[in-house]
Amino acid sequence: MTIWQNRKAKDRQLYMRALTAVCLKGRLAYYFTMYKYGFLRDSIVAKKRLTNRLREEWQIHNAQGLKSKLGWLLQEGNRQSYLEIHHRLSALSETERMDYVQSLPKKQKETIRISIVNYYCRKLPENGIAAYDYAQYLYLCRVGVTLRYLTKQEGLNRMQHVAQLIQQSYSGWEEYVAAYVTGSQFDAAETSSTYVKKNQALITKWFAAKNSPFRQLEWEMDLGK
Encode the chain (225 residues) as per-residue pLDDT tens digits.
565 567 788 899 999 999 999 998 877 788 888 877 665 544 666 788 889 999 999 999 999 999 999 999 999 999 999 999 999 999 999 899 999 999 999 889 999 999 999 999 889 999 999 999 999 999 999 999 989 999 999 999 999 999 999 999 999 999 999 999 999 999 999 988 899 999 999 999 999 999 999 999 999 999 976
The answer as to whether 2 is a domain residue is no
The answer as to whether 111 is a domain residue is yes
Q: What is the total count of domains within the chain?
A: 1
Query: Among residues 68, 216, 28, which one has the least CA distance to residue 150?
Result: 68
Q: Would you give the distance in Å from CA 176 to the centre of its chain?
A: 8
* pTM of the predicted structure, to 2 decimals: 0.92
The answer as to whether 1 is a domain residue is no
The answer as to whether 15 is a domain residue is no
Q: Which SS3 state, helix, strand or coil, does residue 59 take? A: coil
The answer as to whether 49 is a domain residue is yes
Helical spans, DSSP H, in 31-126: 31-34, 44-58, 63-75, 79-90, 94-103, 109-119
184-188, long-range: CB < 8 A, 24+ apart: 184/132, 185/116, 186/78, 186/81, 186/82, 186/113, 186/116, 186/117, 186/129, 186/132, 187/78, 187/132
DSSP 8-state secondary structure symbol assigned to residue 33: H
The answer as to whether 20 is a domain residue is no
Distances (CA, A) of 90 to 98, 130, 133: 12, 18, 22
The answer as to whether 136 is a domain residue is yes
The answer as to whether 71 is a domain residue is yes
List the domain range (segments joined by +) for residue 124: 33-216
